[in-house]
Chains A and B, each alone.
Chain A
Amino acid sequence: MPSVKLRDVQVRIAGLERPVIDVPQLSIDAGERVAITGPSGAGKTTLINVLVGLERPNTGKVIWDKIDIFDLNEADRDGWRAKNVGIVFQEFHLFPGLGVLDNVLLPQQLRSFRSSAEHRMRAIDLLRHVGLTRLDQDAATLSRGEMQRVAIARALCTRPSVVVADEPTASLDKNSADAVTELLVDLSGSLGATLIVITHDSSLERAMTRAIFMDRGFVMTSEGNV
């Protein structure tokens, strides 16, 4: 199972004196459940972007199992992410006008044109697991809690080894938030996947095995909390 190591990672924005993030060293082991917390503007989203190869740091390495993902070209990095990473967004980002099952299958189908029967079966299983049975219901008509559950099914359908989520419960009511927390922990646990969430939600934070606190671009504390 992959673990990740960051070395001397800095993201700088032209015109800003201080780097947006400055992480000399950070390791996350395979299967860990990590909560990233910190004030707004601390660099949490930037850190996740860098971790999964969505944003190239100005300096440093991001090494997943001996592969520095920024040594790969863009297409290979996309391919690596498609194979290894599942992402859940705060605002869900489902595709309106498409059915629930289509939402789960679309990204992979854009990669391989046909989704395999196995992939389809897994999508249906996952959707059932997260409590959705009307597979052709237009995603735009779902409740917010349902939307995030579909998004979780979408993130986990490809059996990723890393699941990242940026404030996945922030725009949900308490009940939906708890359901989402439980699903994230359960499903990534059953895959043995590493789970990294950015959150201000204390119950989601408590469900993690480790907390990273960031401030002004630095990782201030990084401790296990079991």
Chain B
Amino acid sequence: MIPARFIWADLRRLWVGSTVVVLLIASATGLGVAVNLQERALRLGSARAAEGFDLVIGAAGSETQLVLSAVFLQLAPLPLMPGSILQKLSADPKVEMAAPVGFGDSFDGMPIVGTSAAFIDSRGHGKLTEGRIFRQISEAVVGAKVKLSIGDEIKPLHGLPDEGGHTHGELAYAIVGRMAETGTPWDKAILVPIEGVWRVHHLVDGHDDREEHEPEPASMTSIRIGPPWNNPPGVPAIIVKAKTIADAYRLRAEYRRDATLGVFPAEVLTRLFATLGDVRSVLAAIAMTTQALVAAAVILVCTVHLSQRRKQLAVLRALGAPRRAVFGLVWVEILILVGLGVALGVGLGYAGARIFSGWLSATSGITGPIALNLEDLTLVAVLLLIAAVIATIPAAMAYRQPTSIALRS
């Protein structure tokens, strides 16, 4: 096909301009695609992270703080609830599972979360990929991405991961199991019996109605763990699974007064994403403005290019090429550039979103699926359609230009 070679020769001759146009279009498209992909990944990723946390109950305070800490492990010092609430919830017939979560220690930057075996059963579809659940106070189960092996022993460091502090000499945990990957911050957490956390912080172990006392390290292994608890110490949050949806609503209402706070994490997330949605529309507007600016730049480049080609196109017509062919040449050439740019842009956007998402997952533990879907295809189709329409302007200019210039210099 000689016309194809003609177009190729023209693009090659003007390769600097062509490359700039392709890159401009690619970056504008890439920005739009990346914003879409990342927003979707973040939304799906955090929704996934909230799965299984039907109802979270904490001490009265900030709902967002509670959800961020208990669900996303973005740990902040939470006020404690009296232990009696845990006891009461455990005994409530509306409750299928009530697991305490307690924080305060870390190892190698990873949070150590105290909880009960029932909670581990309810996470990650109840599957351990390795080993078994903890059975005594000095055992721990790790998240999928924790770089520790079964049999390793760790000494907790007092304080949240980024606070630092002293190690607790009195207690060490042996890793006995590993949970399946969930794509949530829990993949990087170390789960231990809540009694360990209480004990480390010199609280009673919750199975004992005597006065608070300092336990002997040697006696640690003999302590019973898990429910039922008796006079347990305070906990920052309790994860509750209700028997029915109605029960969940009833429980939330019940624990939404006085000193406690009951929240549906999904609901808090929805509210959070409403705010994020505004950020997204700002980003989308930026992407769109960029695309418009790029479109303007591309039109300008095409017009300049066309004015340099007026003679050549007139010569073609003088030599017998029909008008529609001249129109087609200009139109196809622009669309090739736009098509290349958009394709490259989708690739760039995808790669960019992957990189950002990798960083996000490394820092927050939230892994969102980066995948192109129909929405992105629509964006691509719309961009190409707009380009197809805009390209008719220079093409029409070429179509309408006088033929007499072929013989004039």
Contacts and interface: CB of A to CB of B under 8 A. Distances in A.
Contact of A97 (B12, B315, B316, B319): B12
A55 B322 contact: no
Given A93-B315, A95-B312, A82 B323 contact: no
Contacts of B317: 78
Interface in B1-25: 2-3, 5-6, 8-10, 12-13
Interface string A165-186: 0100000000000000000000
Given A45-B408, A102-B2, A82 B312 contact: no
A162 to B, nearest CB: 13
Size class of the B contact interface (CB-based, 8 Å): 20 to 34
A110 B316 contact: yes
Nearest to A158: B320
B406 interface: yes
B315 A89 contact: yes
A97 B312 CA distance: 13
Given A48-B407, A49-B407, A97-B13, A87 B319 contact: yes
Contacts of B3: 106, 109-110
B309 to A, nearest CB: 11
Interface string A13-42: 000000000000000000000000000000
Nearest to A49: B404
Looking at A55, A107, A111, A166, the one whose CB has the most chain B CB atoms below 10 A away is A107
Interface in B302-361: 311-312, 315-323, 325, 329
A78 B404 contact: no
Contact of B2 (A55, A85, A87, A98): A98
8 contacts: A52-B318, A55-B403, A78-B317, A78-B322, A79-B322, A87-B406, A95-B6, A107-B319
Interface of B: 2-3, 5-6, 8-10, 12-13, 311-312, 315-323, 325, 329, 402-404, 406-409
B409 to A, nearest CB: 7
Interface of A: 45, 48-49, 52, 54-55, 74-75, 78-79, 81-83, 85, 87, 89-91, 93, 95-98, 102, 105-111, 115, 154-155, 158, 166
B404 A54 contact: yes
A79 B317 CA distance: 10
Given A45-B408, A54-B318, A75 B312 contact: no
Given A102-B2, A106-B3, A166-B407, A93 B323 contact: no
B9 A154 contact: no
Looking at B3, B6, B323, the one whose CB has the most chain A CB atoms below 10 A away is B6
Contacts of A111: 320-322, 325
B321 A107 contact: yes
Contact of B320 (A45, A48, A108): A108
Nearest to B326: A110
Contacts of B407: 45, 48-49, 54, 87, 89, 166
A166 B10 CA distance: 26
A98 B316 CA distance: 14
A49 B403 CA distance: 9
Looking at B8, B12, B315, B318, the one whose CB has the most chain A CB atoms below 10 A away is B318
Contacts of B311: 93
A79 B329 CA distance: 18
A150 to B, nearest CB: 12
Nearest to B400: A74
A3 to B, nearest CB: 21
Contacts of B322: 75, 78-79, 82, 110-111
Q: 6 closest pairs, A vs B, by CB?
A: A97-B9, A82-B320, A107-B319, A55-B404, A110-B321, A110-B325
